[in-house]
Chain A
Amino acid sequence: MAKIVAGVGSSHVPAIGAALDNGKTEEPYWKRVFSGFEKSKQWMAETKPDVAIVIYNDHASAFSVDLIPTFALGCAAEFPPADEGWGPRPVPVVKGHPKLAAHIATSVILDEFDLTIVNKMEVDHGLTVPMNLLFGQPKDAWPCPVIPLAVNVVMYPPPTGHRCYMLGKAIRKAVESYKEDLKVVIFGTGGLSHQISGPRAGLINSKWDKSFLDNLSKDPKKLTRIPHLEYMREAGAEGIEMVMWLIMRGALEDKVDEVYRFYTVPASNTAVGHIILENRRIARHKGVEERPSSRAMAGRKRPVAAGKSRHKQAAARKPSQRRVSKGKR
Protein backbone atom coordinates (compact mmCIF):
# COMPACT_ATOMS: atom_id res chain seq x y z
CA MET A 1 0.00 0.00 0.00
CA ALA A 2 1.22 3.49 -0.78
CA LYS A 3 1.72 5.90 2.14
CA ILE A 4 2.17 9.59 2.57
CA VAL A 5 4.99 9.78 5.10
CA ALA A 6 5.61 13.50 5.33
CA GLY A 7 4.64 16.94 4.14
CA VAL A 8 6.94 19.74 3.06
CA GLY A 9 5.92 23.38 2.95
CA SER A 10 8.12 25.72 0.94
CA SER A 11 8.00 29.09 -0.75
CA HIS A 12 8.60 29.03 -4.48
CA VAL A 13 10.00 32.50 -5.14
CA PRO A 14 11.19 32.76 -8.79
CA ALA A 15 14.24 34.80 -7.78
CA ILE A 16 15.47 31.75 -5.82
CA GLY A 17 15.46 29.81 -9.08
CA ALA A 18 17.27 32.64 -10.83
CA ALA A 19 19.89 32.73 -8.07
CA LEU A 20 20.46 28.97 -8.48
CA ASP A 21 20.57 29.13 -12.26
CA ASN A 22 22.98 32.08 -12.29
CA GLY A 23 25.33 30.67 -9.65
CA LYS A 24 24.59 33.30 -6.99
CA THR A 25 24.08 30.87 -4.12
CA GLU A 26 27.28 31.96 -2.37
CA GLU A 27 26.36 35.64 -2.31
CA PRO A 28 25.53 36.64 1.28
CA TYR A 29 21.97 37.67 0.37
CA TRP A 30 21.23 34.26 -1.13
CA LYS A 31 23.36 32.25 1.26
CA ARG A 32 21.00 33.42 4.00
CA VAL A 33 18.14 31.81 2.07
CA PHE A 34 19.84 28.62 0.90
CA SER A 35 21.47 27.84 4.24
CA GLY A 36 17.97 27.29 5.60
CA PHE A 37 17.48 24.33 3.28
CA GLU A 38 20.74 22.44 3.89
CA LYS A 39 19.24 20.22 6.58
CA SER A 40 16.13 19.75 4.48
CA LYS A 41 18.11 18.34 1.60
CA GLN A 42 19.74 15.94 4.03
CA TRP A 43 16.32 14.98 5.38
CA MET A 44 15.02 14.39 1.86
CA ALA A 45 18.05 12.29 0.92
CA GLU A 46 17.40 10.11 3.96
CA THR A 47 13.66 9.92 3.45
CA LYS A 48 14.06 8.81 -0.19
CA PRO A 49 10.46 9.08 -1.33
CA ASP A 50 9.31 6.94 -4.24
CA VAL A 51 6.97 9.67 -5.44
CA ALA A 52 6.43 13.35 -4.65
CA ILE A 53 3.08 15.07 -5.02
CA VAL A 54 3.74 18.77 -5.51
CA ILE A 55 0.95 21.29 -4.91
CA TYR A 56 1.85 24.53 -6.67
CA ASN A 57 0.44 27.20 -8.89
CA ASP A 58 1.13 28.08 -12.46
CA HIS A 59 2.17 31.70 -13.09
CA ALA A 60 0.77 32.38 -16.55
CA SER A 61 3.06 29.72 -18.04
CA ALA A 62 0.93 26.66 -18.81
CA PHE A 63 -2.41 28.38 -18.29
CA SER A 64 -3.31 31.78 -19.69
CA VAL A 65 -6.68 33.43 -19.06
CA ASP A 66 -8.29 31.14 -21.65
CA LEU A 67 -8.72 28.39 -19.11
CA ILE A 68 -8.46 28.76 -15.36
CA PRO A 69 -8.85 25.36 -13.68
CA THR A 70 -9.17 25.45 -9.91
CA PHE A 71 -7.42 22.10 -9.38
CA ALA A 72 -5.47 20.58 -12.27
CA LEU A 73 -3.77 17.22 -11.73
CA GLY A 74 -0.81 16.35 -13.93
CA CYS A 75 -1.30 12.82 -15.22
CA ALA A 76 1.33 12.94 -17.98
CA ALA A 77 4.51 10.86 -18.19
CA GLU A 78 6.64 13.99 -18.16
CA PHE A 79 6.43 17.72 -17.61
CA PRO A 80 9.04 19.89 -19.33
CA PRO A 81 10.20 23.11 -17.64
CA ALA A 82 8.38 26.14 -19.08
CA ASP A 83 10.00 29.11 -20.77
CA GLU A 84 9.07 31.95 -18.44
CA GLY A 85 10.63 34.63 -20.59
CA TRP A 86 14.30 33.85 -20.03
CA GLY A 87 14.34 30.40 -21.59
CA PRO A 88 13.36 27.23 -19.72
CA ARG A 89 15.12 26.78 -16.38
CA PRO A 90 18.15 24.47 -16.70
CA VAL A 91 16.55 21.72 -14.63
CA PRO A 92 15.78 18.12 -15.63
CA VAL A 93 12.44 17.31 -17.21
CA VAL A 94 10.04 16.36 -14.43
CA LYS A 95 8.97 12.74 -14.79
CA GLY A 96 5.43 11.98 -13.75
CA HIS A 97 3.81 8.90 -12.26
CA PRO A 98 0.86 8.44 -14.65
CA LYS A 99 -0.42 5.31 -12.96
CA LEU A 100 -0.65 6.73 -9.46
CA ALA A 101 -1.87 10.05 -10.85
CA ALA A 102 -4.72 8.34 -12.70
CA HIS A 103 -5.57 6.43 -9.54
CA ILE A 104 -5.64 9.65 -7.51
CA ALA A 105 -7.76 11.39 -10.15
CA THR A 106 -10.29 8.57 -10.15
CA SER A 107 -10.48 8.27 -6.40
CA VAL A 108 -10.63 12.00 -5.72
CA ILE A 109 -13.23 12.77 -8.42
CA LEU A 110 -15.46 9.97 -7.17
CA ASP A 111 -14.94 11.53 -3.75
CA GLU A 112 -16.63 14.62 -5.22
CA PHE A 113 -13.58 16.81 -5.87
CA ASP A 114 -13.95 17.87 -9.49
CA LEU A 115 -10.35 17.89 -10.66
CA THR A 116 -9.22 18.86 -14.12
CA ILE A 117 -7.05 16.19 -15.71
CA VAL A 118 -3.97 17.46 -17.51
CA ASN A 119 -2.20 15.18 -19.97
CA LYS A 120 0.17 17.79 -21.36
CA MET A 121 1.65 20.54 -19.26
CA GLU A 122 4.82 22.53 -18.81
CA VAL A 123 5.79 23.36 -15.25
CA ASP A 124 7.23 26.66 -14.07
CA HIS A 125 9.22 27.90 -11.07
CA GLY A 126 6.22 27.26 -8.82
CA LEU A 127 7.07 23.57 -9.02
CA THR A 128 10.77 23.47 -9.86
CA VAL A 129 12.06 25.92 -7.22
CA PRO A 130 10.82 23.90 -4.21
CA MET A 131 12.19 20.77 -5.87
CA ASN A 132 15.63 22.40 -6.13
CA LEU A 133 15.43 23.47 -2.51
CA LEU A 134 14.71 19.93 -1.33
CA PHE A 135 16.43 17.75 -3.96
CA GLY A 136 19.34 20.03 -4.88
CA GLN A 137 20.38 20.58 -8.47
CA PRO A 138 20.56 17.17 -10.18
CA LYS A 139 21.97 17.36 -13.69
CA ASP A 140 20.13 14.63 -15.58
CA ALA A 141 17.15 13.48 -13.59
CA TRP A 142 15.18 14.25 -10.44
CA PRO A 143 15.51 11.48 -7.84
CA CYS A 144 11.83 10.53 -7.97
CA PRO A 145 8.72 10.90 -10.14
CA VAL A 146 6.45 13.82 -9.39
CA ILE A 147 2.70 14.31 -9.60
CA PRO A 148 1.98 18.03 -10.03
CA LEU A 149 -1.27 19.51 -8.76
CA ALA A 150 -1.73 23.05 -10.06
CA VAL A 151 -4.11 25.20 -8.03
CA ASN A 152 -5.60 28.45 -9.24
CA VAL A 153 -4.48 31.15 -6.83
CA VAL A 154 -3.96 33.74 -9.57
CA MET A 155 -7.58 34.66 -10.24
CA TYR A 156 -9.84 35.43 -7.32
CA PRO A 157 -11.34 33.39 -5.83
CA PRO A 158 -8.93 30.53 -5.25
CA PRO A 159 -10.45 27.51 -3.53
CA THR A 160 -11.10 28.10 0.17
CA GLY A 161 -8.62 26.90 2.75
CA HIS A 162 -11.21 24.43 3.98
CA ARG A 163 -11.72 23.00 0.50
CA CYS A 164 -7.98 22.64 0.11
CA TYR A 165 -7.67 20.87 3.45
CA MET A 166 -10.46 18.45 2.55
CA LEU A 167 -8.90 17.79 -0.85
CA GLY A 168 -5.71 16.89 0.99
CA LYS A 169 -7.67 14.30 2.96
CA ALA A 170 -9.14 12.89 -0.24
CA ILE A 171 -5.67 12.66 -1.76
CA ARG A 172 -4.44 10.75 1.25
CA LYS A 173 -7.34 8.34 0.98
CA ALA A 174 -6.52 7.87 -2.69
CA VAL A 175 -2.83 7.23 -2.04
CA GLU A 176 -3.59 4.76 0.73
CA SER A 177 -5.86 2.76 -1.55
CA TYR A 178 -3.08 2.29 -4.12
CA LYS A 179 -1.83 -1.29 -3.99
CA GLU A 180 1.87 -0.82 -4.68
CA ASP A 181 4.16 -0.10 -1.72
CA LEU A 182 5.23 3.48 -2.33
CA LYS A 183 6.60 6.07 0.02
CA VAL A 184 5.07 9.43 -0.87
CA VAL A 185 6.04 12.94 0.23
CA ILE A 186 3.61 15.78 -0.43
CA PHE A 187 4.69 19.38 -0.99
CA GLY A 188 2.62 22.50 -0.33
CA THR A 189 4.27 25.48 -1.97
CA GLY A 190 3.95 29.25 -2.30
CA GLY A 191 3.84 32.13 0.16
CA LEU A 192 4.48 33.15 2.74
CA SER A 193 3.35 36.76 3.12
CA HIS A 194 4.00 38.83 0.03
CA GLN A 195 2.36 41.30 -2.26
CA ILE A 196 3.93 41.93 -5.63
CA SER A 197 1.20 43.98 -7.27
CA GLY A 198 -0.01 47.56 -6.89
CA PRO A 199 1.06 50.39 -4.61
CA ARG A 200 1.01 48.12 -1.53
CA ALA A 201 3.67 45.80 -3.05
CA GLY A 202 6.38 44.76 -0.63
CA LEU A 203 4.02 43.92 2.19
CA ILE A 204 5.41 41.39 4.67
CA ASN A 205 3.72 40.21 7.84
CA SER A 206 6.11 38.01 9.80
CA LYS A 207 3.86 37.81 12.82
CA TRP A 208 1.04 36.44 10.73
CA ASP A 209 3.39 34.02 8.96
CA LYS A 210 4.70 32.66 12.23
CA SER A 211 1.21 32.12 13.52
CA PHE A 212 0.32 30.35 10.27
CA LEU A 213 3.29 27.99 10.64
CA ASP A 214 2.48 27.34 14.31
CA ASN A 215 -1.09 26.45 13.50
CA LEU A 216 -0.08 24.41 10.49
CA SER A 217 1.74 22.12 12.89
CA LYS A 218 -0.62 22.08 15.78
CA ASP A 219 -4.07 23.31 14.83
CA PRO A 220 -4.56 23.23 11.07
CA LYS A 221 -8.34 23.26 11.39
CA LYS A 222 -8.08 26.77 12.72
CA LEU A 223 -6.37 27.78 9.48
CA THR A 224 -9.17 26.28 7.41
CA ARG A 225 -11.49 28.95 8.78
CA ILE A 226 -9.42 31.91 7.57
CA PRO A 227 -11.42 33.82 4.95
CA HIS A 228 -9.75 34.96 1.75
CA LEU A 229 -10.14 38.59 2.74
CA GLU A 230 -7.95 38.00 5.76
CA TYR A 231 -5.20 36.32 3.73
CA MET A 232 -5.12 39.25 1.32
CA ARG A 233 -5.31 41.92 4.01
CA GLU A 234 -2.80 40.36 6.37
CA ALA A 235 -0.45 38.41 4.12
CA GLY A 236 -0.69 40.44 0.90
CA ALA A 237 -2.73 39.97 -2.26
CA GLU A 238 -0.43 37.19 -3.43
CA GLY A 239 -0.04 35.74 0.07
CA ILE A 240 -3.32 33.97 -0.60
CA GLU A 241 -1.13 31.26 -2.17
CA MET A 242 -0.79 29.91 1.34
CA VAL A 243 -4.09 28.02 0.95
CA MET A 244 -2.05 25.49 -1.04
CA TRP A 245 -0.16 24.52 2.10
CA LEU A 246 -3.47 23.31 3.52
CA ILE A 247 -3.79 20.62 0.83
CA MET A 248 -0.44 19.27 2.00
CA ARG A 249 -1.52 19.50 5.63
CA GLY A 250 -4.86 17.84 4.96
CA ALA A 251 -3.02 14.88 3.47
CA LEU A 252 -1.20 14.27 6.77
CA GLU A 253 -2.30 12.90 10.10
CA ASP A 254 -4.12 15.21 12.49
CA LYS A 255 -1.10 15.03 14.79
CA VAL A 256 2.29 15.42 13.19
CA ASP A 257 5.87 15.93 14.26
CA GLU A 258 7.34 19.20 13.11
CA VAL A 259 10.88 18.16 12.34
CA TYR A 260 12.14 21.36 10.80
CA ARG A 261 11.25 24.97 10.18
CA PHE A 262 12.95 27.90 8.51
CA TYR A 263 11.85 31.46 7.93
CA THR A 264 13.64 34.45 6.48
CA VAL A 265 12.78 37.84 4.99
CA PRO A 266 13.18 38.61 2.15
CA ALA A 267 13.85 36.73 -1.04
CA SER A 268 13.24 39.46 -3.56
CA ASN A 269 9.67 40.53 -2.65
CA THR A 270 8.67 37.62 -0.47
CA ALA A 271 8.91 36.11 3.00
CA VAL A 272 10.44 32.65 2.67
CA GLY A 273 8.84 29.96 4.80
CA HIS A 274 9.67 26.30 5.04
CA ILE A 275 8.46 23.46 7.22
CA ILE A 276 8.76 19.68 7.35
CA LEU A 277 6.02 17.68 9.03
CA GLU A 278 6.21 13.91 9.54
CA ASN A 279 3.37 11.54 10.14
CA ARG A 280 3.87 9.88 13.48
CA ARG A 281 2.83 6.36 12.75
CA ILE A 282 5.06 5.85 9.74
CA ALA A 283 7.77 4.02 11.64
CA ARG A 284 5.33 1.27 12.48
CA HIS A 285 4.45 0.51 8.92
CA LYS A 286 5.97 -2.17 6.82
CA GLY A 287 8.48 -1.08 4.27
CA VAL A 288 9.28 2.12 6.05
CA GLU A 289 12.33 1.98 8.27
CA GLU A 290 12.74 3.81 11.55
CA ARG A 291 13.24 7.45 10.87
CA PRO A 292 16.84 8.37 11.50
CA SER A 293 15.84 11.66 10.00
CA SER A 294 13.94 12.93 13.01
CA ARG A 295 16.88 12.20 15.19
CA ALA A 296 19.24 13.84 12.77
CA MET A 297 17.11 16.92 12.92
CA ALA A 298 16.89 16.95 16.71
CA GLY A 299 18.51 19.98 18.22
CA ARG A 300 17.91 21.89 15.03
CA LYS A 301 15.46 24.69 14.75
CA ARG A 302 12.43 23.45 16.55
CA PRO A 303 10.36 26.39 17.56
CA VAL A 304 7.79 24.02 18.95
CA ALA A 305 8.67 23.76 22.63
CA ALA A 306 10.14 20.33 22.25
CA GLY A 307 10.92 19.64 25.89
CA LYS A 308 7.50 20.36 27.22
CA SER A 309 5.45 18.92 24.48
CA ARG A 310 7.28 15.65 24.12
CA HIS A 311 5.17 13.92 26.75
CA LYS A 312 2.06 15.44 25.32
CA GLN A 313 3.07 14.22 21.91
CA ALA A 314 3.61 10.71 23.19
CA ALA A 315 0.25 10.79 24.91
CA ALA A 316 -1.41 11.97 21.76
CA ARG A 317 0.05 9.18 19.71
CA LYS A 318 -2.44 6.47 20.61
CA PRO A 319 -5.63 8.43 20.07
CA SER A 320 -4.27 9.72 16.80
CA GLN A 321 -3.67 6.18 15.63
CA ARG A 322 -7.13 5.16 16.70
CA ARG A 323 -8.63 8.00 14.74
CA VAL A 324 -6.67 6.92 11.72
CA SER A 325 -7.71 3.29 11.81
CA LYS A 326 -11.28 4.39 12.32
CA GLY A 327 -11.08 6.38 9.17
CA LYS A 328 -9.97 3.40 7.14
CA ARG A 329 -12.39 1.56 4.99
Chain B
Amino acid sequence: MARTRQDYDDIPGTFVFDAERSREGYGINMFCMSLMKDENRKAFKANEAEYLKKFKLTPEQTEAILKRDYNRMLELGGNIYFTAKLGATDGHSFQHLAAVMTGSTQPDYAAMMLAGGRSVEGNRSKSGKDKVVKPKSKPVSKSKPKPKSKSSAKRK
Protein backbone atom coordinates (compact mmCIF):
# COMPACT_ATOMS: atom_id res chain seq x y z
CA MET B 1 0.00 0.00 0.00
CA ALA B 2 1.39 3.35 -0.97
CA ARG B 3 2.03 5.78 1.79
CA THR B 4 -0.21 8.83 2.06
CA ARG B 5 1.72 11.96 1.05
CA GLN B 6 2.21 14.40 3.89
CA ASP B 7 3.41 18.00 3.94
CA TYR B 8 6.42 16.97 6.03
CA ASP B 9 7.58 14.51 3.37
CA ASP B 10 9.00 17.64 1.78
CA ILE B 11 11.66 17.91 4.50
CA PRO B 12 14.85 16.42 3.06
CA GLY B 13 16.61 13.51 4.72
CA THR B 14 13.80 12.97 7.19
CA PHE B 15 11.38 10.12 7.86
CA VAL B 16 8.73 11.43 10.19
CA PHE B 17 7.46 8.70 12.48
CA ASP B 18 3.73 9.23 12.09
CA ALA B 19 0.66 7.12 12.86
CA GLU B 20 0.93 5.31 9.55
CA ARG B 21 4.59 4.40 10.04
CA SER B 22 3.84 3.51 13.65
CA ARG B 23 1.42 0.85 12.41
CA GLU B 24 3.68 -0.40 9.60
CA GLY B 25 6.73 -0.49 11.80
CA TYR B 26 5.12 -2.14 14.80
CA GLY B 27 7.21 -5.29 14.34
CA ILE B 28 10.49 -3.41 13.97
CA ASN B 29 9.88 -1.31 17.04
CA MET B 30 8.67 -4.16 19.23
CA PHE B 31 11.70 -6.20 18.15
CA CYS B 32 13.94 -3.31 19.19
CA MET B 33 12.01 -2.96 22.47
CA SER B 34 12.71 -6.65 23.21
CA LEU B 35 16.42 -5.82 23.17
CA MET B 36 16.05 -4.01 26.47
CA LYS B 37 16.41 -7.44 28.11
CA ASP B 38 19.83 -8.98 28.28
CA GLU B 39 18.65 -12.55 27.57
CA ASN B 40 16.94 -11.31 24.40
CA ARG B 41 20.06 -9.48 23.28
CA LYS B 42 22.00 -12.71 23.68
CA ALA B 43 19.39 -14.74 21.81
CA PHE B 44 19.35 -12.23 18.98
CA LYS B 45 23.12 -12.17 18.69
CA ALA B 46 23.27 -15.97 18.70
CA ASN B 47 21.00 -16.30 15.66
CA GLU B 48 19.68 -13.05 14.27
CA ALA B 49 17.47 -14.39 11.46
CA GLU B 50 15.90 -16.97 13.74
CA TYR B 51 15.23 -14.46 16.49
CA LEU B 52 13.53 -12.08 14.05
CA LYS B 53 10.97 -14.76 13.16
CA LYS B 54 9.32 -14.09 16.51
CA PHE B 55 8.13 -10.73 15.21
CA LYS B 56 5.71 -9.78 12.47
CA LEU B 57 8.12 -8.33 9.95
CA THR B 58 7.94 -7.95 6.18
CA PRO B 59 10.88 -9.38 4.19
CA GLU B 60 12.04 -5.77 3.55
CA GLN B 61 11.99 -4.99 7.24
CA THR B 62 13.88 -8.17 8.11
CA GLU B 63 16.49 -7.37 5.49
CA ALA B 64 16.91 -3.81 6.74
CA ILE B 65 17.46 -5.07 10.29
CA LEU B 66 19.94 -7.77 9.28
CA LYS B 67 21.87 -5.30 7.12
CA ARG B 68 21.69 -2.61 9.81
CA ASP B 69 20.29 -0.24 7.22
CA TYR B 70 19.10 2.36 9.70
CA ASN B 71 17.61 4.77 7.20
CA ARG B 72 15.63 1.99 5.57
CA MET B 73 14.36 0.89 9.00
CA LEU B 74 13.06 4.43 9.57
CA GLU B 75 11.46 4.47 6.15
CA LEU B 76 9.71 1.19 6.88
CA GLY B 77 8.26 2.40 10.16
CA GLY B 78 11.08 2.13 12.66
CA ASN B 79 11.55 4.94 15.13
CA ILE B 80 14.97 6.21 16.10
CA TYR B 81 14.47 5.79 19.86
CA PHE B 82 13.67 2.15 19.21
CA THR B 83 16.29 1.42 16.56
CA ALA B 84 18.89 3.00 18.87
CA LYS B 85 18.39 -0.07 21.07
CA LEU B 86 19.61 -2.22 18.19
CA GLY B 87 22.59 0.08 17.88
CA ALA B 88 23.27 -0.27 21.60
CA THR B 89 23.05 -4.06 21.26
CA ASP B 90 25.82 -3.81 18.67
CA GLY B 91 27.77 -1.66 21.12
CA HIS B 92 27.35 1.56 19.18
CA SER B 93 26.75 5.01 20.61
CA PHE B 94 23.97 7.21 19.41
CA GLN B 95 26.41 9.46 17.67
CA HIS B 96 27.79 6.50 15.76
CA LEU B 97 24.29 5.73 14.46
CA ALA B 98 23.76 9.34 13.49
CA ALA B 99 27.02 9.29 11.55
CA VAL B 100 25.98 6.07 9.79
CA MET B 101 22.59 7.52 8.82
CA THR B 102 24.21 10.62 7.37
CA GLY B 103 26.72 8.57 5.37
CA SER B 104 29.58 10.03 7.39
CA THR B 105 32.20 8.68 9.76
CA GLN B 106 31.86 9.26 13.48
CA PRO B 107 34.93 11.56 13.72
CA ASP B 108 33.69 13.64 10.78
CA TYR B 109 30.19 13.79 12.20
CA ALA B 110 31.47 14.75 15.67
CA ALA B 111 33.59 17.49 14.09
CA MET B 112 30.55 18.82 12.24
CA MET B 113 28.61 18.96 15.50
CA LEU B 114 31.43 20.76 17.29
CA ALA B 115 31.50 23.30 14.49
CA GLY B 116 27.85 24.11 15.15
CA GLY B 117 26.04 21.21 13.49
CA ARG B 118 24.40 20.84 10.11
CA SER B 119 23.11 24.15 8.83
CA VAL B 120 19.43 24.49 8.10
CA GLU B 121 20.30 26.55 5.01
CA GLY B 122 19.70 24.40 1.99
CA ASN B 123 18.20 21.66 4.20
CA ARG B 124 14.69 22.94 4.67
CA SER B 125 12.83 21.64 1.69
CA LYS B 126 13.03 19.29 -1.25
CA SER B 127 10.65 21.35 -3.36
CA GLY B 128 11.62 24.84 -2.30
CA LYS B 129 8.37 25.24 -0.37
CA ASP B 130 10.18 26.40 2.70
CA LYS B 131 8.81 29.87 3.16
CA VAL B 132 7.53 29.10 6.60
CA VAL B 133 9.93 31.27 8.50
CA LYS B 134 10.17 34.19 6.14
CA PRO B 135 6.78 34.41 4.49
CA LYS B 136 6.61 36.80 1.60
CA SER B 137 4.57 39.75 2.67
CA LYS B 138 1.93 40.04 0.04
CA PRO B 139 0.57 43.40 -1.01
CA VAL B 140 -1.69 44.29 1.87
CA SER B 141 -5.22 45.44 1.34
CA LYS B 142 -6.22 48.45 3.37
CA SER B 143 -8.68 46.59 5.49
CA LYS B 144 -5.90 44.36 6.79
CA PRO B 145 -3.60 46.25 9.09
CA LYS B 146 -1.01 43.49 9.30
CA PRO B 147 0.16 41.00 6.73
CA LYS B 148 -0.61 37.59 8.04
CA SER B 149 2.17 35.10 7.78
CA LYS B 150 1.54 32.10 5.64
CA SER B 151 2.09 29.80 8.57
CA SER B 152 -0.41 31.37 10.88
CA ALA B 153 -2.97 31.66 8.12
CA LYS B 154 -2.57 28.00 7.38
CA ARG B 155 -3.55 26.93 10.84
CA LYS B 156 -7.07 28.24 10.50
Contacts from B to A (Cβ < 8 Å): 7-8, 11-19, 22, 25-26, 29-30, 32-33, 35-36, 71, 74, 79-82, 85, 88-89, 94-95, 98, 101-103, 109, 112-114, 116-120, 123-125, 130, 132-133, 151-152, 154-155
Minimum CB–CB distance from A63 to chain B (whole Å) comes to 10
CA of A60 to CA of B16 in the docked complex: distance in angstroms? Answer: 16
Q: Which of A133-141, A152-160, A276-284, A286-294 contacts B (4 or more CB under 8 A)?
A: A152-160
Asked whether any CB of chain B lies closer than 8 Å to the CB of A42, the reply is: no
Given A85-B88, A196-B94, A198-B74, A265–B116 Cβ distance below 8 Å? yes
CB pair B36 A85 closer than 8 Å: yes
Contacts from A to B (Cβ < 8 Å): 14-15, 59-60, 64-66, 68, 83-86, 154-157, 193, 195-206, 208, 225-230, 232-234, 237-238, 265-266, 268-269, 271
Minimum CB–CB distance from A81 to chain B (whole Å) comes to 13
Given A232-B11, A232-B14, A197–B116 Cβ distance below 8 Å? no
CA of A156 to CA of B98 in the docked complex: distance in angstroms? Answer: 20
CB pair B19 A268 closer than 8 Å: no
Of the candidates A59, A85, A208, A227, the one whose C-beta lies within 8 Å of that of B151 is A227
- Complex contacts, A202 vs chain B, CB 8 Å: 98, 102, 109, 112-113, 117-118
Minimum CB–CB distance from A30 to chain B (whole Å) comes to 13
- Complex contacts, B132 vs chain A, CB 8 Å: 227, 229-230, 233-234
Given A65-B22, A198-B74, A230-B132, A225–B155 Cβ distance below 8 Å? yes
CB pair A200 B123 closer than 8 Å: yes
CB pair A226 B151 closer than 8 Å: yes
Chain B residue nearest in CB terms to A222: B152
CB pair A197 B74 closer than 8 Å: yes
Chain B residue nearest in CB terms to A226: B151
- Complex contacts, A237 vs chain B, CB 8 Å: 11, 14, 16
CA of A85 to CA of B86 in the docked complex: distance in angstroms? Answer: 10
Chain A residue nearest in CB terms to B75: A198
- Complex contacts, A232 vs chain B, CB 8 Å: 8, 11, 14, 16
- Complex contacts, A195 vs chain B, CB 8 Å: 14, 118
CB pair B120 A234 closer than 8 Å: yes
Of the candidates A64, A234, A269, the one whose C-beta lies within 8 Å of that of B30 is A64
Minimum CB–CB distance from A20 to chain B (whole Å) comes to 16
Given A85-B36, A225-B151, A198–B15 Cβ distance below 8 Å? yes
- Complex contacts, B88 vs chain A, CB 8 Å: 85-86
CA of A65 to CA of B56 in the docked complex: distance in angstroms? Answer: 14
Q: A65-B82, A227-B132, A234-B133 are in contact. List 14 more A-B contacts (CB 8 A).
A: A60-B85, A68-B22, A84-B36, A85-B35, A85-B88, A156-B19, A196-B94, A199-B12, A201-B102, A203-B120, A227-B151, A265-B113, A268-B113, A269-B98
- Complex contacts, B112 vs chain A, CB 8 Å: 202
- Complex contacts, A266 vs chain B, CB 8 Å: 113-114, 116-117
Minimum CB–CB distance from A66 to chain B (whole Å) comes to 8
- Could you name 7 residue pairs across A and B whose Cβ atoms are closer than 8 Å? A59-B81, A199-B71, A202-B112, A204-B113, A208-B133, A229-B132, A232-B14
CA of A167 to CA of B11 in the docked complex: distance in angstroms? Answer: 29
Given A155-B18, A225-B152, A229-B132, A204–B117 Cβ distance below 8 Å? yes
